[in-house]
Amino acid sequence: MGRNGLLTLRVKQTIFKNARSVEQIKRIEKRFKRLQRKVSRKYQTSKEGIRYGKTCNIIKRLKEHGSEEITPLNPADIGIEKENGLNNGNREEKETLMGFYKFFVTEKIMYPTLGTILEQTVQKYPTQEALVDRGKQQRWTYAEWNQVVNQLANALTHAGVRKGDVVSTVLSNRSEFVTSLFACAKIGAIFNPINDRLKSKEIAYIVRDCKPRVLIFEQAVENEVRPIFYQFPMTLFWNVDYTEQLGGQNFQGFVAQAPSYPPLVDVKEDDIYALLYTSGSTGKPKGVMHRHRDMIEQSAILSHALKLTSQDRGLCVAPLYHCAELHCMLIPRVHVGATNVLLPTFDPQLVLQAVREEQISVLFGEPAMWSMLLSQIEKRPEDPISSLRIGLYGTAPMPSSLIRQCKELLGIELIQSYGMTEMGPTITLLFDHEQQSKSGSVGKACLNHEIRIITPGGNPWDQRKSGEVGEIIVRGPCMMAGYFNKQRASEKVLRDGWYYTGDHGYLDEEGYLFVTSRTDDRIISGGENIDPREIEEVLCEHPAVLDVAVVGKRDRYWGERVVAYIVPKHPVESGELDHHCKTNHRLAAYKRPKEYIFVKELPRNASGKIQKFPLNDAI
């Protein structure tokens, strides 16, 4: 590609409908050279900016002349006969024009990416309400929001973000989070949402691992993000709540100054779309890599299961940095042209207020969230919820009594999802009519997915019979590409085209999956994956602790809660240990033990390894 070429030249590409002669091409070329002078001075200061300005203006003029509709033509029909250029034209002209052809034609006919599904929705529902930020009291139609997405995409490009670069966010449920996701999707950057409840050292570990070009954060997490500014000089820190008194650079200023034309980047379905860090049994979070196509498949599965239409309105109240809310709810709603309403944090009163005022029809929540919502509804029986039609829950089973309450007080359909980040996340679905008859099950494999129960650690063909417990393995189109920078860990769980979940369970004769236990020690509390080793390391630093084991105890509201078994060196109170954890900057609040049990010794096997299953049985 030449100096001013836009994209890699491919002479086999098709041509704009109105560009039917070399003379007409030359006239267009001459026109856009004049138009590019109108681009803002800021974007003319660099080679990239000049190239960008040319692109934007030619697109604008072509659209004004009704050339949005395009028809495939033979390159020879307009004088492109061979690879070495246009007849009667120069190399620069050839590359520039063929870049336009590639963007407008080829990208439209390939398998869609997350960027193109937004564009498709904008074309179909430009005036439909797309996004509502309850925290900031702002609203956007799809056409308006798409302009902001394009502005951020162009601002990131101007800041040096290129295809394959990582852009991290430490944000709550707010419009900038969702806008960042789709801006990254349009320019081929890898979106990395970081849990906004993490401490500085935990954030620093992720930043050190994935090396983002830009990290976008908000004022609420500034105290955790500011300490790492100078550790990563190659990362730009953009503050969405920027003032002169706060740290970072002005996110809103960069976006406001950027043009709203669509960026021209060749993004493929198999390109990595996101890097989602999840805790596991290794002691350190691993970055799960998902491709664009993974999420398109996941979106289609959930759109079908939830019967989503453009008339639906969904409330995002579970954290968007979790793939459950992000991939099972937000993206599918964008896909079908529905409305996404964002609530920064979960508060039962605020959630019910939003459901009533915004006429919410679709909602995801962990069982704990549903239980708190029902308790709040019981306090105000005179103000029923009428708009809600379907609810999705996951991360933990829902007790039968809670299912009955949802039916009685809300009259909604309920669907359970079982899965994990590595699978997109959904693996199985248990539909409304199966909730009581198959109580205890997590459902059947979702569309295009297959589940097997095998001998633990065995091969995919070492299958167990119906009813026999074994290791759960699964395969499907939403499976991750692997763990970022962790080839051995990837090879351990991705074998022969299957993902080894580490969970144990069985399939009944009808194909329903029952999960019995996990082979690793992960605790899932309130939807958060918690690695016990992190907590054990912090507790071991206390001078009164001789030995420690952290396990999960079943809890009606949170699924599991963190319990620490302590072997003390000398007498110590629970409050002292809790204060130690609370003041430790490596441990997020939700990871702190909720209960301390003091014992004389911990059970160990012959090799000296702590055996946690007796502790689990004891509680």
Q: Which class for 440: exposed (0-12), middle (13-18), buried (19 or more C-beta within 10 A)? A: exposed
What confidence score (pLDDT) does residue 546 get?
82
* Separation of first and last alpha carbons in the chain: 66
The confidence score (pLDDT) of residue 619 equals 62
Name residues whose C-beta falls within 8 Å of residue 81's C-beta, 6 or more positions apart in sequence.
Answer: 75, 87
Residue pair 73/21 in contact by the 8 Å Cβ criterion:
no
Provide the pLDDT for residue 57.
52
Count of CB atoms within 10 A of residue 348's CB?
17
Cα(261)–Cα(147) distance, integer angstroms:
7
Over residues 168-184, the pLDDT tens digits come to 999 999 999 999 999 99
Q: How confident is the model over 75-80, as a mean pLDDT?
A: 38
Rounded Cα distance between 94 and 13, Å, is: 12
What is the model's pTM? 0.75
pLDDT above 90: residue 479: yes
More confident residue, 10 or 307: 307
Query: Could you give the CA distance from residue 132 to residue 220 in angstroms, rounded to a whole number?
Result: 20
Give me the sign of the Cα torsion angle 293, 294, 299, 305. Answer: positive
Q: Which two tokens stand for residue 97?
A: 């024009």
With pLDDT > 90 as the criterion, what percentage of the chain qualifies? 59
Rounded to 5 degrees, φ, ψ at 379 are -75, -20
Cα 575 → chain centroid: 37
Q: Which residue has the higher pLDDT, 371 or 431?
A: 431
Nearest to 293 by CA among 106, 498, 478, 107: 478
> What per-residue string of b and e applies to 150-169 under the rule 16 or more CB within 10 Å gives b?
bbbbbbbbbbebeeebbbbb
In terms of Cα–Cα distance, which of 309, 367, 343, 292 is closest to 114? 292
Report the alpha-carbon distance of residue 364 to residue 353 in Å, rounded: 16
Q: Give, as one character, the DSSP assignment of residue 502.
A: E
Identify the band that residue 393 occupies on the pLDDT scale cut at 50, 70 and 90: very high
Structure-token pair, residue 226: 């500011």
In which region does residue 496 sit, left (phi positive, over 0), alpha (psi from -120 to 50) or beta (all else)? left
* pLDDT tops 50 at residue 111: yes
Confidence at 104, pLDDT banded by 50, 70, 90: very low
Q: How many residues in total does the chain contain?
A: 619
Query: Hey, what domains does the chain have and what are their CATH numbers?
Result: 22-109 (no CATH), 129-507 (3.40.50.12780), 524-618 (3.30.300.30)
Rounded Cα gap, residues 100 and 13, in angstroms: 10
The identity of residue 391, as a single letter, is: G
Strands (E) across 335-469 are located at 339-342, 362-364, 390-394, 413-419, 426-430, 444-445, 450-454
Q: Give the contacts of 401 (CB within 8 A, at least 6 positions apart).
A: none
pLDDT band at 333 (very low <50, low <70, confident <90, very high): very high
Q: Is the pLDDT of residue 19 over 90?
A: no
Picking from 49-53, 146-150, 402-406, 588-592, which range would have the lowest pLDDT averaged per residue? Answer: 49-53
Q: What is the pLDDT of residue 13?
A: 33
Residue 123: is its pLDDT beyond 50? yes
Residue 477 amino acid letter? P
Please check the confidence at residue 87 and state whether its pLDDT lies above 50. no
Is the backbone peptide bond immediately before 193 cis, with ω within 30 degrees of 0? Answer: no
Largest CA distance in the chain: 91
Q: What is the C-alpha to C-alpha distance for residues 10 and 3, in angstroms, rounded to an integer?
A: 16
The pLDDT of residue 281 is 44
Residue 535, phi then psi, degrees to nearest 5: -70, -40
* Position with higher pLDDT, 483 vs 63: 483
Q: Which of 611, 90, 135 is nearest to 346 (CA)?
A: 135
The 8-class DSSP code of residue 520 comes to S
Closest CA to 167 of 149, 131, 199, 194: 194
- Tell whether the torsion through CA atoms of 503, 504, 509 and 513 is positive or negative: negative
